[in-house]
Amino acid sequence: MAVPIALGTIMLVPGSAAATPAEGVNGIVMSQATLNGKDYISREITIAPGGTTGWHYHPGQVFGVIKEGTLTHYEGDCSVDGVYNPGDAITERSGTGYVHEGRNEGATPLVMWVLYIDPAGSPLAVDMPNPGCPFQ
């Protein structure tokens, strides 16, 4: 899910001109450390009702827990690969072969706690264009 992320907002590295930006996403860094060539960054991410992470992939590992609301998670083939509610854990694969998008399709804010384990200095997420889905 991810999610990439600048301090305070989701940091997505520009992909192409057709990249899909995040909408309604706010993130707060809770902790950050680098050890043995890896960045460990924990964040609280809030997605407003109707908000989206935009299409992206992660260069490292992502582990999350839903605190409030519901996350609907889409794979690059436009299918829903998971719906996550409070208390549910989510793990996202890394790399360019796993382009995905997280959406808050509910009426209340979605709040997640997320841990990123990335190669030191890499972005938390890389913004990508819509892979051909009929929705943004």
Sign of the Cα torsion 77, 81, 85, 86 reads negative
Q: Where are the domains of the chain?
A: 12-127
pLDDT tens track for 6-30: 333 334 444 444 688 999 999 999 9
Average pLDDT score, the chain:
89
pLDDT tens track for 43-72: 999 999 999 999 999 999 999 999 999 999
What is the pLDDT at residue 17?
44
CB atoms within 10 A of CB 126: 21
Amino acid at position 127, single letter: D
Question: What is the second-level CATH architecture of the domain 12-127?
Answer: Sandwich (2.60)
| Structure-block tokens of residue 51 | 């908000």
Report the length, in residues, of the chain: 136
| All residues at 6 or more sequence positions from 97 whose CB lies less than 8 Å from its CB, including other chains | 57
Q: How far is the CA of 105 from the CAs of 2, 62, 80, in angstroms?
A: 16, 21, 12
Q: How far is the CA of 106 from the CAs of 85, 98, 109, 111, in angstroms?
A: 11, 24, 8, 12
* pTM, two decimal places: 0.85
